[in-house]
Amino acid sequence: MNRAITTSAVHGGRDQFRALGVHAPPIDRSTTNPLTSLEDGTASLDAMAAGGHPQGSSVYARLHNPTVARWETAIAELEGADEAVAYGSGMAAVTAVLLAAGAVGGHVVAVRPLYGTTDHLLASGLLRCEVTWAAFDGVADAVRDDTALVVAETPANPTLRLLDLEALVAAAGDVPVLIDNTFATPVLQQPLRHGVAWSLHSATKALSGHGDVMAGVVATSTDRAGALRQVRILTGAVLDPEAAYLLHRSLPTLPLRVHAAQANAELLAGRLVEHPAVTAVHFPGLPGADPAGLVGTQMAGPGTMLAFDLVGGHDAAAGVMKSVGLITPAVSLGSTDSLIQHPAGLTHRLVSDEGRAAGGITPGMLRLSVGIEDVEDLWDDLAAALDLVTG
Ligand SMILES: *Cc1c(COP(=O)(O)O)cnc(C)c1O
């Protein structure tokens, strides 16, 4: 459907509401469903087992849930995708793509930095993935005939490094590309429009937006969605309908929240550059941060996340985390309130030293998820904490 993203956010996945006679998303808690006949039940079961949609009855809640399906329809519309498939967490979604792509026990090319747990899942050997870690300009050489998948993030967590998606897809050749789009949100970036095969979100973050839901979702083409649903059915990595309800309830305000937080982030990034306690600020909207000119083309704006390095290194970072008041010292991101955390000690702690170095994650780096509070209140809080660690 070709409507503006703000309209899609408000109306996506709600087409059946008038026919149902409802105004808010109904929560369907049935775990089993009465069948009109054995034949109908069998036909629907066969369709879903093959990765398709139910033919009439949902049969059983691990196979299909209408509340979840409506939110998936909305996410697909926002991402410009045929379909979206929801999971109980972002990591369940990552694992589902690895399974669906044949990357479990196979060869993967991955570009660092990645979300710490994605990095650890690939590096740990748990899924028997053979991983070639490549820089962006090394992807074409790293791809082999038997490579199942190329994995990357843009903007990357936690350094906000941007990648040119069309160049990455070209470098991957015939190998499908998975992009973790959590930081950008579909409001700012729709990777499938640039040839990416799967666009993945930890919906725990901005899509939920209020720090109270865990979920994951993958937007993709119809030909790839079937395998993702089969993985969900067979591994049981389902999203609870209550969570889907909250996610659908949060969606209309997603563009408003992203734009408000982004405006705050732009202002805070500019002020952080000037602060004597700070050596470097990582934010796609700053001069020099986006040499390829991706903000305004691939990405509709610089986003709501930033990171910065402190003159005083690790100890100064710990000091800032201890001193902030309005800003919460906590992992996660994309909430209405601002959160600050130390990647090397928390989100990227399980990444190898070598992996952190390759990804540009330093001991004195803090990552700030900017919320929608008044920006002067945020700056007062941050500046007071930074002043305390300025030598
Ligand atoms: C949080 C996060 C994940 C993992 O999502 P969960 O919902 O915590 O499982 C994956 N990728 C990125 C970029 C994240 O920030």
Q: Which of 202, 335, 348 to mutate to test the pocket of ligand 1 (most atoms within 8 A of CB)?
A: 202
pLDDT in tens, 104-113: 999 999 999 9
Nearest CA, atom 1, ligand 1: 202
Nearest CA, atom 12, ligand 1: 115
pLDDT value for 390: 87
Task: Provide the pairing of β-strand 278-282 with 216-220.
Answer: unpaired
pLDDT in tens, 4-50: 999 999 999 999 999 999 999 999 999 999 999 999 999 999 999 99
CB atoms within 10 A of CB 309: 20
391 has a pLDDT exceeding 80: no
The Å distance, Cα 309 to ligand 1 centre, comes to 23
Mean pLDDT of 160-179: 97
Of 364 and 391, more confident: 364
The Å distance, Cα 378 to ligand 1 centre, comes to 25
Active site positions, annotated = 62, 115, 180, 205
Does residue 89 have its Cβ closer than 6 Å to ligand 1? yes
1 has a pLDDT exceeding 80: no
Determine which helix (DSSP H) or strand (DSSP E) holds 39, and give its type and residue range: helix 38-49
CA–CA gap between residue 128 and residue 110 (Å, rounded): 15
In the chain, the percentage of residues whose pLDDT exceeds 70 is: 99
Residue 203 in tokens: 């919906």
The Å distance, Cα 36 to ligand 1 centre, comes to 40
pTM, two decimals, is: 0.97
CA–CA gap between residue 187 and residue 10 (Å, rounded): 12
**Domains annotated on the chain, with CATH:** 5-253 (3.40.640.10), 254-390 (3.90.1150.10)
Q: At what angle do helices 222-235 and 38-49 cross, to 10 degrees?
A: 110
Q: What is the dihedral of CA 230, 231, 235, 236, to 10 degrees?
A: -70
Of 203, 199, 217, nearest to 247 by C-alpha is 203
Determine the atom of ligand 1 nearest the C-alpha atom of 94. 10
Does residue 204 have its Cβ closer than 6 Å to ligand 1? yes
Mean pLDDT of 251-275: 98
pLDDT in tens, 346-383: 998 988 898 898 888 999 999 999 999 999 999 999 99
The Å distance, Cα 207 to ligand 1 centre, comes to 12
Strand order in the sheet with 177-180: 83-87, 216-220, 198-202, 177-180, 147-153, 107-111, 130-134
297 has a pLDDT exceeding 70: yes
The Å distance, Cα 50 to ligand 1 centre, comes to 28
Q: Output the CA angle 119-170-173, nearest 5 degrees.
A: 80
CA 149 to chain centre: 18
Does residue 91 have its Cβ closer than 6 Å to ligand 1? yes
Does residue 115 have its Cβ closer than 6 Å to ligand 1? yes
Residue type, 121: L
Q: Which of 157, 181, 205, 347 to mutate to test the pocket of ligand 1 (most atoms within 8 A of CB)?
A: 205
Determine the atom of ligand 1 nearest the C-alpha atom of 91. 9
Does residue 205 have its Cβ closer than 6 Å to ligand 1? yes
CA–CA gap between residue 93 and residue 218 (Å, rounded): 7
